[in-house]
């Protein structure tokens, strides 16, 4: 897969190309990246990429033409490398919220993706209308630039590419099953008076799977009831799951360990911090 990133700060992208799983995947040849600075597509002496907003107001707006020239250079490079011209995505706080489903679809279907990073107050709307296929937000908050959002997209897409993860664990991660991930534990078996849940030490695979399923159900019901509703609508909850959720709602779901049963236990956290 190939990413072309239009950005005023290309050096930031070493964070994904040079570290961790994404670095390894790049070294395995699973993805490549090229960056395009709109500054290199300006024609004035000061290499101006932004200007004041029409209608007044604070801040500056990225001008359409340098971005357009950068996107078309990226498209040409994609075709030169044998790809179809990639989908053009602009990172934007007012875009459509990114989902696991969209990430997986890009990983599966897109040979190339062009990511356009805004800065300042944002991007001239005419560029978005003329050249951008979709605007994507990574959450309901405002970043100072699209770079961190673009890196989030690259990281999330790359780990879905076949061979990127050493163990193919992504099928069990949060969202993949329609539920949030179950909690994880490692050694020591007892840490600051907190034991590992007994079910995980049982060595009994069916029991462990059931425990994880119930933890995922309980956590999802607590943090993201909307996901429970979608899982139910998609027919992903069986009768046992439904019974467990009913028991939870009545306060009799017996398997949530105390340390997890009350995540906002401020007193417990304070005690830990003092320790």
Among 37, 72, 137, 265, binds ligand SAH (CB under 6 A): 137
In Å, what is the CA distance from 240 to each residue of 118, 136, 213, 236, 237? 47, 37, 10, 11, 8
Among 75, 122, 197, 253, binds ligand SAH (CB under 6 A): 122
CB 80 within 8 A of CB 131: no
Nearest to 4 by CA among 107, 82, 102, 74: 74
How far apart CA 91 and CA 6 sit, in angstroms, is 11
In this chain, which stretch among 43-51, 92-100, 203-211, 262-270 interacts with ligand SAH, using CB under 6 A? 92-100
User: Strand ranges (DSSP E) for the chain?
Assistant: 2-6, 32-36, 50-51, 61-62, 87-97, 112-117, 134-137, 190-191, 194-195
CB 142 within 8 A of CB 93: yes
Q: Kindly state whether residue 66 participates in binding ligand SAH, applying the rule CB under 6 A.
A: no
Q: Kindly state whether residue 49 participates in binding ligand SAH, applying the rule CB under 6 A.
A: no
Q: Kindly state whether residue 143 participates in binding ligand SAH, applying the rule CB under 6 A.
A: yes
Contacts with ligand SAH by CB under 6 A: the residue count is 19
Among 93, 196, 199, 268, binds ligand SAH (CB under 6 A): 93
By C-beta, is 10 or 145 nearer to ligand SAH? 145
Q: Kindly state whether residue 225 participates in binding ligand SAH, applying the rule CB under 6 A.
A: no
Among 65, 121, 155, 181, binds ligand SAH (CB under 6 A): 121
From the CB of 215, what's the least distance to ligand SAH, in Å?
30
Q: Kindly state whether residue 118 participates in binding ligand SAH, applying the rule CB under 6 A.
A: yes
Beta-carbon count within 10 A of 35 CB = 22
How far apart CA 70 and CA 76 sit, in angstroms, is 10
Question: Contact residues for ligand SAH (CB under 6 A)?
Answer: 91-94, 117-119, 121-123, 137-139, 141-143, 145-146, 149
């Amino acid at each position: 897969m190939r990413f072309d990133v239009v950005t005023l700060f290309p050096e930031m992208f070493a964070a994904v190309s040079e570290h961790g799983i994404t670095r390894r995947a790049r070294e395995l040849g699973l993805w490549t990246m090229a960056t395009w600075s709109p500054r290199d597509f300006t024609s004035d002496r000061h290499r101006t990429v932004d200007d004041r907003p029409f209608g007044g107001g604070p801040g500056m707006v990225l001008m359409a033409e340098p971005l357009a020239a950068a996107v078309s250079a990226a498209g040409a490079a994609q075709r030169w490398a044998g790809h179809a011209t990639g989908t053009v995505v602009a990172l934007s706080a007012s875009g459509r919220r990114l989902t696991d489903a969209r990430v997986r679809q890009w990983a599966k279907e897109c040979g190339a993706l062009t990511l356009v990073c805004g800065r300042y107050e944002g991007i001239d709307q005419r560029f978005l209308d003329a050249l951008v296929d979709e605007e994507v937000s990574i959450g309901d908050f405002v970043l100072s630039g699209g770079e961190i959002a673009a890196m989030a997209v690259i990281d999330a897409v790359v780990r879905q590419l076949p061979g990127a993860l050493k163990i193919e664990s992504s099928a069990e991660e949060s969202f993949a099953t329609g539920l949030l991930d179950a909690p994880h534990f490692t050694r020591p078996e007892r840490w600051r008076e907190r034991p590992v849940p007994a079910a995980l030490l049982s060595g009994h695979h069916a029991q462990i799977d059931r425990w994880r399923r119930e933890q995922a159900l309980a956590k999802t019901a607590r943090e993201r009831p909307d996901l429970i509703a979608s899982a139910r609508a998609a027919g992903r909850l069986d009768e046992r799951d439904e019974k467990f959720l009913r028991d939870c709602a009545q306060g009799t779901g017996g398997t949530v360990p105390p340390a997890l049963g009350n995540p906002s236990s401020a007193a417990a956290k304070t005690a830990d911090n003092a320790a």
